[in-house]
Structure 1
Amino acid sequence: MMKRSWILQLLLLIGFLLIGNLVVTFLPIPLPGSIVGMLLLFLFLLTGIIKLEWVEKLASFQLKHLQLLFIPPIVSLLISFHFLEILRWNIFLILLISSLSCLLGTAYTVEWYEMRKKRECK
Structure 2
Amino acid sequence: MKGIRIVLQIAGLYALYWIGAEIQRAFDIPVPGSIIGMLLLFILLLSGIVKERLLDEGADLLLRYMPLFFVPATVGVIRYFDVFAGKGSMLLVALLLSTFLIMIISGLVGQKTVELVDKRKKRGV
With normalisation by structure 1, the TM-score equals 0.72
2:94 is the alignment partner of 1:98: yes
Show the counterpart of 1:15: 15
Give the letter aligned to residue 85 of structure 1.
Answer: D
In the alignment, structure 2 segments of 5+ residues that lack a partner are: 119-125
Bigger mean CA deviation after superposition, 54-63 or 39-48 = 54-63
Residues 32, 46 of structure 1: alpha-carbon distance in 2 compared, 3 angstrom cutoff: same
> What residue number does 2:39 align with?
39
Deviations 1:45-76 (Å, cap 9, x if unpaired)?
11011111111111122223322222331133
Q: Distance in 2 between matches of 1:100 and 1:7?
A: 37
Aligned match of 1:67: 67
Unaligned runs of 5+ in 1: none
For normalisation by structure 2, the TM-score amounts to 0.71
Partners in 2 of 1:99 and 1:72 — Cα distance? 19
Query: Corresponding residue for 2:85?
Result: 88
Summarize deviations over 1:60-93 as a string: whole Å, max 9, x none. 2222332222233113321x2xx23333322x44
RMSD over aligned Cα, in angstroms? 2.6
Which residue is equivalent to 2:51? 51
Percent of aligned positions with the same letter in both sequences? 29
- C-alpha deviation, 1:98, in angstroms: 3.0
CA drift of 1:94 comes to 2.6
Q: Secondary structure at the match of 1:89?
A: coil
Query: What amino acid is aligned across from residue 52 of structure 2 in structure 1?
Result: L
